[in-house]
Amino acid sequence: MLSLANAFSKENIEDFLKKVKNFLNINDSQEIVFSAEPKIDGISASLKYIDGIFTLGLSRGDGKTGEDITNNLKTIKDIPKKITKPNFPKILDVRGEVYISKSDFKKIAKQFANPRNAAGGSLRQKNPNETKKIPLKFVAYGFGMVEPKNFDKQSQYLKLLKTWGFNTNSLNKLVSSIEEIEKNYKNIETQRSNIDYDLDGLVYKIDNLKLQNRLGFVSNSPRWAIAHKFSSEKGFSIIKNIEIQIGRTGALTPVAKIEPINIGGVVVSNATLHNEDEINRKDIRIGDTVCIQRAGDVIPQVLYVDKEKRNKNIQKFKFPNKCPSCGSKTIKEFNFSTKKKDAVTRCPDTKFNCKEILREKLKHFVSKEAMNIDGFGKKIIQNFWDLNLIRYPVDIFNLNFKKISTLDGWGELSASNLEKAIKKSQKISLDKLIFSIGIRHIGQENAKTLAKYFVNINKFKELFIEEKRKKILNYLIELDGIGETQINSLQTFFSNSANLNTVSNLIKRLNVSSFKTSKSGIFYGKTIMFTGGLSKMSRAEAKALVEKEGGKILGTTSKKLDYLVVGDSKPTTKKVDKAKQLNIKILDENSWYGLLNR
């Protein structure tokens, strides 16, 4: 159950549509039908039915593994426990949202901060009888595994859900143009305050499931869907102070500490100021009255300054030229793509010992996308850091839980639960480990590309050895998606003895599983590169197909290349000539489709 990419404007939706059409290689004039579905602000859940019996209910968790909340979900009247319809699939995972209506929440408002918190807390109850007391509802909108699949459109599936006894959203609608999308969006946003449940936007899913399948997924979201968030709510407050926060990559982010203000039911006391350029452009100063908005109902930010209310004695804010944590002189890196210096100011952390960066790396390490240590949030990291219990990732696996159970706010049960969560996280896949380490410029997609190359932890550890590292990096530069920026970052990271020591100690405490690739695909063990445009599919889709079928995509022509696929539209002559010199097999477009059996 992956999350969705977000859109905040008409332009964002146009960009999304353009990317979809480019991937599918279809004309701009061709319409694509979308299922537009209101995005209820609740808790996602997956219900597994086998032979019509509700057998397992899971929370979203980290997107791959969720918590078993079956008994709590069984207390919800909206969820059918047994379905006897003849057209119901033998196996079906029904995806949907658990929520509390606004009218029902009024009756229990004293117990919870908001309806979403109420729903989330109720589903985590150990005693289902307690959950039963909360007026939870369920609306179905998606599916996971389904056997057999007796529908080929999202809209067909939604209609079937109703016949099977599930609630679906009455505001679901099919749209097929930017104009229809905008009209529907504005219509529902206008009704928002009168609707009896919290909405934070609309979700657009490509209606045709064959097109969904072709588009597939990126690391943490589908290519065929997007969440269109409602416009932000705003309010005015006074900036009491501007603090500089340091991220795990050394980025210095200014944060406005403001007089607490309620915006859309949430009390806001901090707002991001992004970077030095943003402060200068908006001329933001301590003491200013500013307009705050919650962008996409999530991140509060300063929109503008009400300069009429400014005290004449207020001084301009001076951005620090030294890291507030370690005292290193800050830098703005040169961006080779834009040929300009970055707007972000950074601590270079040349000695890899900046305390703020170390702490933020720990927060990244335990996060859902990385090690996914359940219950080990930012506040606990901060608490343990302040108590000198942790400094490096391996320290997490050496914690004294008897000692923790005696700390303020802890007990034997909470300490035991944390210990179990940490032990559970010690079994991790190679790509997750690479991402967890927090190497600059190595995101989730890059981590997967690297894991696909290394396959197992022993091969990955060869990066620690200087002579072997040089050969490995020379090869990695040829991989599609790995450029000089990533190579330089890997070289810098693994050239540092402190980093090598940190990662080596960490690996000793983990059970790292090898990266799983398709061993039955038609391109298993093969390397492929593309040049020129293809007429029947985009290069992006072709690359995705190769990876799905077990192959690797290279970005440069070398002896390691098995196939060079030459498209009909504007192929690069140099690549073709070099492939001929190296006796690499060259496929024209027809041969490529023949290889795919298309």
User: Which of the four pLDDT bands, split at 50, 70 and 90, describes residue 295?
Assistant: low
Range 556-560 average pLDDT: 88
* Helix H or strand E segment including 182: helix 178-191
Q: Are residues 363 and 436 in the same domain?
A: no
Q: Are residues 219 and 94 in the same domain?
A: yes
Q: Are residues 53 and 125 in the same domain?
A: yes
Report which DSSP code applies to 5.
-
Report which DSSP code applies to 87.
T
CB 90 within 8 Å of CB 144: no
d(CA 145, CA 222): 16
Q: Are residues 68 and 179 in the same domain?
A: yes
pLDDT score for 18: 94
Nearest by Cα to 161 from 142, 137, 136: 142
Q: Average pLDDT of the chain?
A: 93
Q: Which residue has the tokens 């701009």?
A: 28
pLDDT at 297 over 60: no
pLDDT in tens, 193-233: 899 999 989 999 999 999 999 999 987 899 999 999 987 77
pLDDT at 182 over 90: yes
In a domain, 313, yes or no: yes
Pairing of strands 234-246, 252-263: antiparallel
User: Which of the four pLDDT bands, split at 50, 70 and 90, describes residue 116?
Assistant: confident
In a domain, 33, yes or no: yes
Q: Give the CATH number, domain containing residue 496.
A: 1.10.150.20
pLDDT at 29 over 90: no
pLDDT at 28 over 90: no
pLDDT at 283 over 90: yes
Q: Give the CATH number, domain containing residue 217.
A: 3.30.470.30
Q: Are residues 179 and 50 in the same domain?
A: yes
Q: Last residue of some domain: 300, 324, 349?
A: 349
Tokens representing 215? Answer: 């588009």
pLDDT at 298 over 70: no
CB 166 within 8 Å of CB 80: yes
288 C-beta neighbours (distance < 10 Å), count: 24
User: Which of the four pLDDT bands, split at 50, 70 and 90, describes residue 324?
Assistant: very high
pLDDT score for 240: 97
pLDDT at 338 over 90: no
In a domain, 519, yes or no: no
d(CA 437, CA 495): 15
pLDDT at 113 over 80: no
Share of the chain above pLDDT 90, in %: 77
The torsion angles phi and psi of 449, rounded to 5 degrees, stand at: -60, -45
Range 343-363 average pLDDT: 92
**Rg from Cα positions in the chain:** 26
User: Which of the four pLDDT bands, split at 50, 70 and 90, describes residue 125?
Assistant: confident
Q: Are residues 12 and 118 in the same domain?
A: yes
pLDDT at 334 over 90: no
Q: Are residues 258 and 120 in the same domain?
A: no
Range 395-412 average pLDDT: 96
Q: Are residues 255 and 366 in the same domain?
A: no
pLDDT score for 522: 87
pLDDT score for 527: 93
Q: Last residue of some domain: 349, 366, 395?
A: 349
Q: Are residues 105 and 192 in the same domain?
A: yes
pLDDT score for 434: 97
In a domain, 522, yes or no: no
In a domain, 145, yes or no: yes
**Positive or negative torsion for Cα 22, 28, 31, 36:** positive
Q: At what angle do helices 466-476 and 484-494 cross, to 10 degrees?
A: 170
Q: Which residue has the tokens 């061993």?
A: 519
In a domain, 88, yes or no: yes
pLDDT score for 296: 58
470 C-beta neighbours (distance < 10 Å), count: 10
pTM over 0.85: no
User: Which of the four pLDDT bands, split at 50, 70 and 90, describes residue 598?
Assistant: low
Range 160-179 average pLDDT: 96
Range 8-29 average pLDDT: 92
Range(s) of the domain holding residue 588: 527-596
Q: Which of 112-121, 315-324, 337-346 has the highest mean pLDDT?
A: 315-324
pLDDT at 340 over 60: yes
Pairing of strands 252-263, 299-305: unpaired
User: Which of the four pLDDT bands, split at 50, 70 and 90, describes residue 353?
Assistant: confident
Q: Could you give the number of structural domains in the chain?
A: 5
Q: Are residues 164 and 281 in the same domain?
A: no
Tokens representing 272? Answer: 């991001």
d(CA 252, CA 236): 25
Comparing 158-167, 302-311, 338-347, which segment has the lowest mean pLDDT? 338-347
Tokens representing 441? Answer: 């410029």
Candidates 10, 18, 21, 39; catalytic one = 39
Nearest by Cα to 78 from 102, 45, 50: 45
Contacts for 449 with CB less than 8 Å, ≥ 6 apart: 479, 480, 481, 482
Q: Indicate if 560 belongs to the active site.
A: no
Q: Last residue of some domain: 449, 479, 513?
A: 513
Report which DSSP code applies to 26.
-
pLDDT score for 63: 83
CB 377 within 8 Å of CB 367: no
474 C-beta neighbours (distance < 10 Å), count: 11
In a domain, 520, yes or no: no
CB 356 within 8 Å of CB 246: yes
CB 72 within 8 Å of CB 79: no
Q: Are residues 372 and 329 in the same domain?
A: no
pLDDT at 470 over 70: yes
**Which residue would you say has higher pLDDT here, 119 or 350?**
119
pLDDT score for 97: 97
pLDDT at 336 over 80: no
Q: Are residues 577 and 469 in the same domain?
A: no
Q: What is the dihedral of CA 567, 443, 467, 495, to 10 degrees?
A: 140
Range 154-173 average pLDDT: 97
Q: Give the CATH number, domain containing residue 570.
A: 3.40.50.10190
User: Which of the four pLDDT bands, split at 50, 70 and 90, describes residue 265?
Assistant: low
In a domain, 1, yes or no: no
d(CA 336, CA 516): 34
Range 466-475 average pLDDT: 94
Tokens representing 428? Answer: 């991790």
